[in-house]
Amino acid sequence: MTSFSDSANPWIDDLLVYEPGRPIEEVARELGFDSSAEIIKLASNENALGPSPKAIAAMRDAATSMHLYPDGGAYYLKADLAAALDVRPDQILPGTGSNELIELMGHVFLNENSNIVMSQCAFVVYRLVAMAARARTITVPMQNYTHDLEAMAKAVTPETRLVFVANPNNPTGTMVSQDEIDRFMEQVSPDVVVCFDEAYIELLDPSLQPDTLKYVREGRNVIVLRTFSKAYGLAGLRIGYAIAPEPCIALLNRVRQPFNVNAMAQAAARAALADTDHVSRTRALVSDGIAQFETGLAALGLSWVPTVVNFMLVEVGAGRSTFSALQKEGVITRPMDGYGLPHHIRVTIGTHAENEKCLQALAAVTGGAS
Ligand SMILES: *Cc1c(COP(=O)(O)O)cnc(C)c1O
């Protein structure tokens, strides 16, 4: 009998596997904590305020209809999003998290003769999707922990099908400005599809959010990705969306499952979108939390990369061992050696109490004052 591997496509064995965090209960048990309540998780850039209460109510209401298939066209959600963003419903495609949309982009645009251009220290999923499609990944060094858009435009080759710009970027917490984006869009060939992954954009004050949707309205080859996982606090529900010119949405539509976005997610997303107060409260919590960390880290003599979003890179010396030591103190963060940043950990901004606990744990494990 041949093994599964012999039957599988030969390139599957070489794919990188995204390493998920372990359940908080398992970490608690292994480290000898009495309950998972003694542990805080500041590892996945989730919203410390939780979902909007209006989204929770919408999910309760939707629960009684779960024997029915969802609306495969997400009619009402697309209508709400189109009104909120001043685009047309046929320029929107919801997905099971924006991660699904990145995967659909791989199906539509990539093959073994193509490549993607992305920044070093940008979201790892772009590379995973490229590998699954057997496309090459061209990685462009960052400038000061920030996307170097000029170098990225120059890195494009005739085989480039997708350029990924995470703005603001995970894991660095930095962003590129409207001017940089506009210059980049002048430099890059109009034939290349540019994806602006704006997973964290709603955490910025609206006056500071770069406008990339104008390129969609102009019909440029641009795909903007947004999500309900971060500012809207619905990461567990898995819902995001792409905004792109209609011919691009039509292509992505061909490779998705007919019922890709579940009914509870559609209902919650509509309620969350309408709850602008919850997003404002989230923004305020994050900016207070950043200030709290900056004060606390300075007191510890630690450096960090200035952030515009709900997580920050903290320079701790040995990242992986500091991550382990913090975990023993009941604080889960994210080591960054996989991103080529062995001296940093990434810390998600939590509630005031969570941030305080994290700073105290950092003081304990780095031997700092505080
Ligand atoms: C968290 C995150 C996303 C969101 O992914 P979902 O699948 O929508 O949860 C997308 N891009 C980046 C860069 C992220 O950090």
Q: For residue 9, what are its two tokens?
A: 């496509």
Give the pLDDT band (50/70/90) at residue 357.
very high
pTM, entire model: 0.96
User: What is residue 327's three-state secondary structure?
Assistant: helix
Distance 192 CA to ligand 1 centre (A): 22
CATH architecture for the domain at 4-50+277-366: Alpha-Beta Complex (3.90)
Distance CA 281, CA 183 (A): 34
Mutate to test the pocket of ligand 1, among 18, 45, 98 (most ligand atoms within 8 A of CB): 98
153 CB-near residues (< 8 Å, 6+ apart): 184, 187, 188
CATH 3.40.50.980 at 53-275, yes or no? no
Residue nearest to atom 10 of ligand 1 (CA): 199
Distance 299 CA to ligand 1 centre (A): 32
Query: Domain spans of the chain?
Result: 4-50+277-366, 53-275
| Average of per-residue pLDDT across 200-204 | 98
Distance CA 285, CA 59 (A): 24
Distance CA 326, CA 345 (A): 10
CA 70, 76, 79, 83 dihedral sign is negative
Distance CA 146, CA 184 (A): 14
Tokens 């982009």 belong to which residue?
Answer: 105
Q: For residue 6, what are its two tokens?
A: 């012999």
Locate the ligand 1 atom nearest the alpha carbon of residue 45 and give its number. 1
Residue 296 has pLDDT above 90, yes or no: yes
Residue 363 has pLDDT above 90, yes or no: yes
Residue 369 has pLDDT above 60, yes or no: no
Q: Which residues line ligand 1 (CB under 6 A)?
A: 45, 97-99, 123, 166, 170, 197, 199, 227, 229-230, 235, 240
Q: Which pLDDT score, from 0 to 100, does residue 370 have?
A: 45
Identify the weakest region by mean pLDDT among 1-5, 64-68, 179-183, 259-263: 1-5
Q: Which pLDDT score, from 0 to 100, does residue 80 have?
A: 98
Locate the ligand 1 atom nearest the alpha carbon of residue 122 and give its number. 13
Locate the ligand 1 atom nearest the alpha carbon of residue 44 and give its number. 1
Distance 123 CA to ligand 1 centre (A): 8
Identify the weakest region by mean pLDDT among 11-25, 48-62, 342-356: 11-25
